[in-house]
């Protein structure tokens, strides 16, 4: 068996920043420390922080007044910020700057009188946060069929935005339908699907023809991880999206010569290495690391933490 390790894979700059923010906040404030939603969509990461005493909540009113709360990398709607302020919570905003960019675009388009078509998945934390910026002005478009069927009164000014972690190919198909149906549609100055999502998809797209089977380390609720597994399956290759290698039935790997391993943007490298170690020990696999694109992106910690580190406590 040969393993091809895709590069880039795993943690992106937004996830690194969010996890580092939570680690620093734990050092500074100790527990109990609250996080609104999962800090990133990865079960092993969330389990690790739970063991350290971090409490993950889905509603701000679960948090005792006066406590400290972190907003996750996926961002929050303004109503959540207002609810936090009403409870006198000290908020640390670990929203990925590339999600914040989409929020700002939504606010700008809404202010300019556009109706915004947000291409994304209903119920995803990021989509809920973005829609909350201009709930009266945003309509969700989830797939090509919805793009074909959606209608607006004559003269409606239309703009589109996308979730940051979509399939590049799916988004392009949906946008081209919308452009055909609404020729005056405008979009963001720079596309919303983030560099990390694009690069991880590009690596799988390039390597997958050589693979017999694909393993994606990542959680089932991680949008960008799911897209990687889908991409492989659409090219006719079996793909397993798992948090840990132990979740793959051994029979699924037997008899395969080439295994492509990648990881979603929220999956720790430790999970990749455990997977590699297992395949080496169990099947005598050799390992080849394949670099499709270099990445060198870094985001600073949230300003609330930077101010504390500089001794400014407000
Ligand atoms: S996947 Fe993209 S948008 Fe999401 S946290 Fe990472 S860099 Fe930010």
Ligand 1 center–CA 28 separation, angstroms: 25
Please, what sign has the CA dihedral across residues 119, 122, 124, 127?
positive
Query: What pLDDT sits at residue 182?
Result: 98
Burial class (CB in 10 A: 0-12, 13-18, 19+), 201: buried
Query: What pLDDT sits at residue 313?
Result: 56
Ligand 1 center–CA 12 separation, angstroms: 6
Q: Label each residue of the chain as H, E or C.
A: CEEEEEECCCCCHHHHHHHHHHHHHHHHHCCCEEEECCCCCCHHHHHHHHHCCEEEECCHHHCCCCCEEEECCCCCCHHHHHHHHHCCCEEEECCCHHHHHHHHHHHHHHHCCCEEEEECCCCCHHHHHHHCCCCCCEEEECCHHHHHHCCCCCCCCEEEEECCCCCHHHHHHHHHHHHHHCCCCECCCCCCCCHHHHHHHHHHHHHHHHCCEEEEECCCCCHHHHHHHHHHHHCCCCEEEECCHHHCCHHHCCCCCEEEEEECCCCCHHHHHHHHHHHHHHHCCEEEEEECCCCCCCCCCCHHHHHHHCCCCC
What is the rounded distance in angstroms from the CA atom of residue 159 to the CA atom of residue 111? Answer: 12
Ligand 1 center–CA 106 separation, angstroms: 18
Query: What pLDDT sits at residue 202?
Result: 98
Q: Which two tokens stand for residue 117?
A: 């078509």
pLDDT averaged over 10-residue windows placed end to end, the chain, 314 residues: 98 98 96 97 98 98 98 98 98 98 98 98 97 98 98 97 97 98 96 97 98 98 97 97 94 93 98 98 97 97 86 59
Which candidate, 86, 82, 50, places its Cα nearest to that of 66?
86
Catalytic residues: 126
* CA-15 nearest atom, ligand 1: 5
Ligand 1 center–CA 251 separation, angstroms: 34
Pocket around ligand 1: residues whose beta carbon is below 6 Å from it? Answer: 12-15, 73, 96, 98-99, 164-165, 194, 196-197, 224, 265
The backbone torsions φ and ψ at residue 3, rounded to the nearest 5 degrees and listed phi first, read -100, 130
Q: Which two tokens stand for residue 61?
A: 């009113």
**170-183 pLDDT per residue, tens:** 999 999 999 999 99
- Which of 41, 73, 162, 190 most suits a substitution to test ligand 1, by most atoms within 8 Å of the C-beta? 73
Q: Which two tokens stand for residue 79?
A: 């109503």
Residue nearest to atom 8 of ligand 1 (CA): 14
- Which of 13, 125, 190, 300 most suits a substitution to test ligand 1, by most atoms within 8 Å of the C-beta? 13
**256-274 pLDDT per residue, tens:** 999 999 999 999 999 999 9
Which candidate, 216, 99, 108, 210, places its Cα nearest to that of 162?
99
What is the rounded distance in angstroms from the CA atom of residue 170 to the CA atom of residue 164? Answer: 13
Q: Which two tokens stand for residue 206?
A: 């390039």
Query: What pLDDT sits at residue 164?
Result: 98
Ligand 1 center–CA 225 separation, angstroms: 11
**22-39 pLDDT per residue, tens:** 999 999 999 999 999 999
Query: What pLDDT sits at residue 189?
Result: 87
* CA-13 nearest atom, ligand 1: 7
- Which of 40, 95, 96 most suits a substitution to test ligand 1, by most atoms within 8 Å of the C-beta? 96
Query: What pLDDT sits at residue 312?
Result: 62
Q: Which residues pair with 92 in a beta bridge?
A: 70
* CA-297 nearest atom, ligand 1: 7
What is the rounded distance in angstroms from the CA atom of residue 231 to the CA atom of residue 250? Answer: 23
Residue nearest to atom 2 of ligand 1 (CA): 194
With a CB cutoff of 8 Å and minimum separation 6, the contacts of 142 are 119, 120, 121, 122
């Amino acid at each position: 068996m040969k393993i091809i390790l895709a590069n880039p894979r795993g943690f992106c700059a937004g996830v690194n920043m969010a996890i580092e923010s939570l680690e620093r906040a734990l050092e500074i404030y100790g527990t109990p420390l609250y996080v609104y939603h999962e800090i990133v969509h990865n079960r092993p990461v969330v389990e690790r922080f739970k063991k350290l005493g971090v409490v993950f909540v889905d509603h701000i009113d679960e948090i005792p007044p006066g406590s400290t709360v972190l907003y996750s990398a996926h961002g929050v709607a303004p109503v959540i910020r207002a609810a936090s302020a009403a409870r006198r919570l000290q908020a640390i905003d670990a929203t990925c700057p590339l999600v914040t960019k989409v929020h700002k675009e939504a606010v700008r388009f809404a202010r300019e009188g556009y109706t915004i078509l947000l291409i994304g998945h209903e119920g995803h934390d990021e989509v809920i946060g973005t829609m909350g910026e201009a709930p009266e002005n945003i309509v969700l478009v989830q797939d090509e069929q919805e793009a074909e069927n959606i209608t607006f009164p004559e003269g409606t000014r239309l703009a589109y935005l996308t979730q940051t972690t979509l399939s590049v190919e799916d988004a392009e198909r949906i946008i081209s339908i919308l452009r055909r149906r609404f020729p005056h549609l405008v979009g963001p100055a720079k596309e919303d699907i983030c560099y990390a999502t694009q690069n991880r998809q590009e690596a799988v797209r390039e390597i997958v023809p050589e693979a017999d089977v694909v393993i994606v380390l990542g959680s089932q609720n991680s949008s960008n991880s799911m897209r990687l597994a889908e991409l492989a399956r659409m090219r006719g290759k079996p793909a397993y999206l798992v948090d840990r290698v132990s979740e793959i039935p051994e029979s699924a790997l037997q008899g395969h010569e080439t295994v492509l391993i990648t990881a979603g943007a929220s999956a720790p490298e430790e999970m990749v290495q455990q997977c590699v170690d297992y395949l080496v020990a169990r099947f005598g696999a050799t390992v080849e690391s394949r670099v499709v694109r270099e990445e060198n992106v870094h985001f600073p910690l949230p300003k609330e933490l930077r101010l504390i580190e500089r001794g400014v406590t407000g």
